[in-house]
Chains A and B, each alone.
Chain A
Amino acid sequence: AQKITQTQPGMFVQEKEAVTLDCTYDTSDPSYGLFWYKQPSSGEMIFLIYQGSYDQQNATEGRYSLNFQKARKSANLVISASQLGDSAMYFCAMRESTTGGGNKLTFGTGTQLKVEL
């Protein structure tokens, strides 16, 4: 079974600084995908960024980048130039194939990020 580990229950960062949220994973599947989602206090899960296991380059989306180290089985999220609106819970997730050809997500326990002035 796949497993996602997020070891930082809470993180603080100063506004305009960069922050790294850690994620390690465990899988025996040679083909997999890694996702980061943001969950504000309103509860909705917002997709941020995706990295495929065969992608040669680290994924980037605006201020978000994914530091993918395959040998270490880590997929850390880097947020540059933090903003107050970045304060939220952040979840790392891995795609796992389901019967019937779909893909279900296995989530970590999340990291609560607080951006301070």
Chain B
Amino acid sequence: GAGVSQTPSNKVTEKGKYVELRCDPISGHTALYWYRQSLGQGPEFLIYFQGTGAADDSGLPNDRFFAVRPEGSVSTLKIQRTERGDSAVYLCASSPGTQETQYFGPGTRLLVL
């Protein structure tokens, strides 16, 4: 079956612009996670959805970051007023339930100039 997909695969934007990153989880997976991976580091947790609601957003670095999952499937990570420090790979993962293995998408490489 299809895995987790993320679009776009690459995004280049200018400082101060708004960006949206999309994640399409594995069909039937109720849990969805966003992580951010900076160069040379492991991924860091941003936010977790169970169904439509954000059950834990403690990893979001500040209020410029926001994510939604309105129908309990596709999720969008939104970054306002982008800064150069936001440049990273944004990874999405999904799992069948909350305590099960997370399966990752290919990531979106964001570059803020």
Listed in ascending order, the chain A residues whose CB lies under 8 Å from chain B are 4, 35, 37, 42-47, 50, 91, 93, 95, 98-110
A116 smallest CB distance to B (angstroms):
23
Chain B 82-101 per-residue mask, 1 if CB under 8 angstroms from chain A, else 0: 00000001010100001101
Chain B CB within 10 Å, residue with most, of A43, A95, A110 = A43
Q: Are B56 and A47 in contact (CB under 8 A)?
A: no
Contact A98 B56, CB 8 Å, known A37-B104, A47-B103: yes
**Contact residues in B for A44 (Cβ distance below 8 Å):** 104-107
Q: Are A104 and B55 in contact (CB under 8 A)?
A: no
Contact with A50, one of B44, B93, B101 (Cβ below 8 angstroms): B101
Inter-chain CA distance A43–B104, complex, in Å, is 10
Q: Are A43 and B103 in contact (CB under 8 A)?
A: no
Question: What does DSSP make chain B's interface, helix, strand, loop or mixed?
Answer: strand
Inter-chain CA distance A104–B59, complex, in Å, is 10
Inter-chain CA distance A105–B56, complex, in Å, is 13
**Contact residues in B for A109 (Cβ distance below 8 Å):** 40-42
**Closest residue on chain B to residue A42 by CB atoms:** B106
**Contact residues in B for A98 (Cβ distance below 8 Å):** 48, 55-56, 58
Inter-chain CA distance A53–B15, complex, in Å, is 44
Inter-chain CA distance A34–B63, complex, in Å, is 31
Q: Are A104 and B56 in contact (CB under 8 A)?
A: yes
**Closest residue on chain A to residue B105 by CB atoms:** A44
**Contact residues in A for B50 (Cβ distance below 8 Å):** 100-102
